[in-house]
Each structure stands twice: as structure tokens, then as C-alpha cells.
Amino acid sequence: MTDEALERIAAALERLAPPPPPPTDWLAHPAYIWEGEAARAVPVLNALPLDALHGIDAQKVALRNNCARLAAGAAAHDVLLWGARGMGKSALVRAVVADVQAERPEFLALVQLAPESLPHFPALIAQLAQQPRAFLLFIDDLGFGADGRAEMLALRSLLDGGVAPRPAHIRLAVTANRRAIVEREDTSAAIHERDERDDALALADRFGLTLGFHPADKDTYLAIIAAYTAPLGLSFDPEEAMAFAIQRGNRSGRTALQFATELAGRAGVRL
């Protein structure tokens, strides 16, 4: 085959190949999704108003203060939000970022990334490093144990083990349901279980701000429901509310919101 023919084939293949994606405009949107090799813009951040989250007041204040510092260019921590499912960990991250953006949208953006995209983390940092904007990188529901150990070890190395420093305007917020991530009691567990716990603790130690989310007790659960329903003039039966939680096997802020949604739907109003 002649060189001319090879050139024609190469040109034809180039015409068939999709064009490369345009570079990401990291200043134009409130949020992005990092897909491993490229980012997808999110024009509208899906977030509840911060005052719509109940039962986690201390966590709200701590995370809001930290993100406000990040947006202002001051020192800020990487954040670990751990604990009970359904108590608002990921909802709080989104709500706090949206609340800070309401005051200074050009100074802070949220970038969500999946744990499996961690091998491409350095490429993301390289893109964000020169941007005149702060970024909170969000990893939701980080896995632990055998299934998530690789991601956990990769994140641990990236947080506090790399040769190149991470710029001060880029911080992480990570959520995890595994309670053992911050427990330090010695037990008689098997060797591999102790290794998993030690790996989790080594990761937790790399976060400057650690926020725990605990299962709601009965009074807190009912208070959260009341906070949703009272502004609508709706009343509810506490016994029915408790039965609703028992049916779902989880007394949490999420369950309270679901019950309030059921009540609002019955009344024909929007929550």
C-alpha cells in the first residue's frame, strides 16, 4: 500500500472520529460532574434550602463555616461526613454549597466525582489548579471493606501522600456510612477486619473536619416531621409517624421527609 493511500485512510478515519470535547469552562456553572477524563457541567445545582434540613444543626454550622472560608480564599479543611444513612450527609453538602453561592456564586463550585474516577484525580487537580475560583470536590458514599478498599487507599494517598501539593482553593467533602471509620476501640476481630479498620482510621485522620451523623431518636424524628408540616398547617399522629418509620426500618431525616411528603400529598398541597 502506497504512502498516499495510507494518508487517505488516515484522513478518512479522522473525519469519522468524533471531535474532541470542548474544554470545560470552570467559571460558568455552580456544579460539575467529573467523569474520569472530562467534566460535565451542571447548570442548576440540585439542593434543598439549608434551613429545610433539620436535626443536624451543629453539622450545618460547621460545614457552612468551612465552605465560606474556602470561598473567601481562607484556609479550609477537607471534610468527612460519616454515619447513619438518611440523616442528610450528601444533602447537607449540596445545600451548604448552594447557600454560599447565593452570596458569592463566582467564588465556589461543587465538583462531584465517583470513587472509580480517583485514578484520574491528578488530571482534575491540574485543570482546577489555575482557576480563580474555589472548588469543593464531592465523593458521595465512599465504600469500605473488600469492595471499596482500593478506592479508600487511593483517596488516602491523594489526601496526604502525594509529592505534588494540592492547591489551597481545592478541598474535598466525602460521605460514608461506615461507622467504624472513626472508631478507635481495639477488638478481637479477625486480622483482615482489623486491617480494614486501620485503613479506615488512617483515611479519617487525614480530614481536618469530621462530622458525625447519628440515627434520630424518637423526639428528634418527630421534631423533624413537625418542622416540615407545621408551616403548611398540617398536623400528624405521632403513632402513625412511628409506624411509618418502623415499616421502613429506619428512623431518620429522610424517613421524616418521606412521611411529611405523604401527609402533604393527602392534603393536596406541595411540600
Above pLDDT 90, what percent of the chain?
48
**Residue 185 reports pLDDT greater than 50:** no
Specify whether the CB–CB gap between 213 and 79 falls below 8 A. no
Q: In angstroms, rounded to a whole number, what is the distance separating the alpha carbons of residues 87 and 245?
A: 13
If DSSP codes are grouped into helix, strand and coil, which group holds residue 165? Answer: coil
H/E segment holding residue 82: strand 79-83
Q: In angstroms, rounded to a whole number, what is the distance separating the alpha carbons of residues 42 and 201?
A: 33
Nearest residue to 197 via CA among 147, 144, 161: 144
pLDDT at res. 144: 55
Residues 69-103: pLDDT tens digits? 999 999 999 999 998 888 899 999 999 999 999 98
Question: Which backbone phi and psi does 73 adopt, to 5 degrees?
Answer: 85, 10
Average pLDDT of the chain, as a whole number: 82
pLDDT at res. 164: 62
**Single-letter amino acid, residue 41:** A
**How many CB atoms neighbour CB 123 within 10 A?**
14
Q: Look at 10 and 104; give whichever has higher pLDDT.
A: 104
Per-residue pLDDT band at 166 (split at 50, 70, 90): confident
CA 271 to chain CA centroid, Å, is 24
Specify whether the CB–CB gap between 252 and 214 falls below 8 A. no
Of 173-177, 197-201, 225-229, the range with the lowest mean pLDDT is 197-201
pLDDT at res. 183: 47
Per-residue pLDDT band at 160 (split at 50, 70, 90): low
Above pLDDT 70, what percent of the chain?
75
pLDDT at res. 270: 87
Of 13-27, 174-188, 212-226, the range with the lowest mean pLDDT is 174-188
pLDDT at res. 6: 57
DSSP secondary structure letter of residue 17: S
- What's the whole-number mean pLDDT along residues 13-35? 75
**Residue 177 reports pLDDT greater than 90:** no
Q: Look at 186 and 221; give whichever has higher pLDDT.
A: 221
Pick from 74-88, 115-129, 149-163 the range whose average pLDDT is largest.
Answer: 74-88
Of 159-168, 205-214, 220-229, the range with the lowest mean pLDDT is 159-168
pTM for the model: 0.79
**Residue 211 reports pLDDT greater than 70:** yes
Nearest residue to 24 via CA among 111, 97, 138, 116: 111
